[in-house]
Structure 1
Amino acid sequence: DMRPIYTAATVQAAELAMEAFSETWNAKAPGAVLAWRNAWEDFTPFLAFTPEIRKVIYTTNQIESINYQLRKITKTRGSFPSDEAAIKLVYLGIRNIETTRGGELGTGTQGWHQALNAFAVQFPNRLPL
């Protein structure tokens, strides 16, 4: 079972922080408060993971880096002669990114080794040694 186990203190702390956030920002940015409240059920499962695992889950730096690399190769072209030509260019761009980035070690994600250790502790006997 890969579902994480919640700790009451963590969820409770998040609820208290949400209330403080709501009190501070509801008058100035009610949309932001509403967005958090609407996403609460999607957010709380992440609280069951250790901070090291959470960081790897929510870090977007790698995704943004890959998007930047793909934008770099596609922005100079006004259009593509076909969908197949666009797909080939993106494929070649991704292939080149993969050969220059971390590969097997978590695609170069900062904090990956700490997260890997946390995964090994939280989910024993699931990772090869």
Structure 2
Amino acid sequence: MLSAYFRYPKAIRKPIYTTNAVEAVHRQFRILTKTKGAFPNENSLLKLLYIGINQVSNKWTMPISNWALTIAQLSIYFKGRLDGIIKI
């Protein structure tokens, strides 16, 4: 529902609609699997993707802008849900 989306401040809305990280992962998956014709089983594909993502994640060092503000806003809107994960 679109009206629920606009109830959140901009600090929360931007990470919700930003898909750059998802697209980057998909792009890496396509690069890894493009030259392969077929995989003998599902585990071989999963192993290839796992190794590829581990190698590529070393390049992804750009911090998320305004992450502290986003986390603070999320902890306000979703009180108690982040307590076990992040110390604020």
1:90 paired to 2:45: no
Matches within 5 A, 1:56-71: 56-71=15-30
Task: State the Cα deviation string for residues 61-83 of structure 1 (Å, max 9, x = none).
Answer: 11001111111111111111222
Q: Using CA pairs below 8 Å that are at least 6 residues apart, which structure has the higher relative contact order?
A: 2
Question: What is the rounded CA distance, in whole Å, between the counterparts of 2:28 and 2:39 in structure 1?
Answer: 18
Matches within 5 A, 1:110-121: 110-121=65-76
Tell whether the 8 Å contact from 1:52 to 1:111 is kept in structure 2 after alignment.
yes
Letter of the aligned partner of 1:95 in structure 2? Answer: N
Query: Percent identity of the aligned residues?
Result: 29
Please list every run of 5 or more consecutive structure 1 residues that lacks an aligned counterpart in the other structure: 1-41
Q: Which runs of 4+ in 1 moved over 3 A?
A: 97-100, 107-111, 120-127
Alpha-carbon RMSD across the aligned residues, in angstroms, is 2.5
Give the 3 Å change call, closer, same or farther, for CA 108–97 of structure 1 in structure 2.
farther
Letter of the aligned partner of 1:75 in structure 2? Answer: K
Please list every run of 5 or more consecutive structure 2 residues that lacks an aligned counterpart in the other structure: none
Q: Is the partner of 2:50 in helix, strand or coil?
A: helix
Q: Quick check: which has more Rg, 1 or 2? A: 1
- As a proportion of its length, which structure holds more helix? 1
Question: What is the rounded CA distance, in whole Å, between the counterparts of 1:117 and 1:58 in structure 2?
Answer: 18
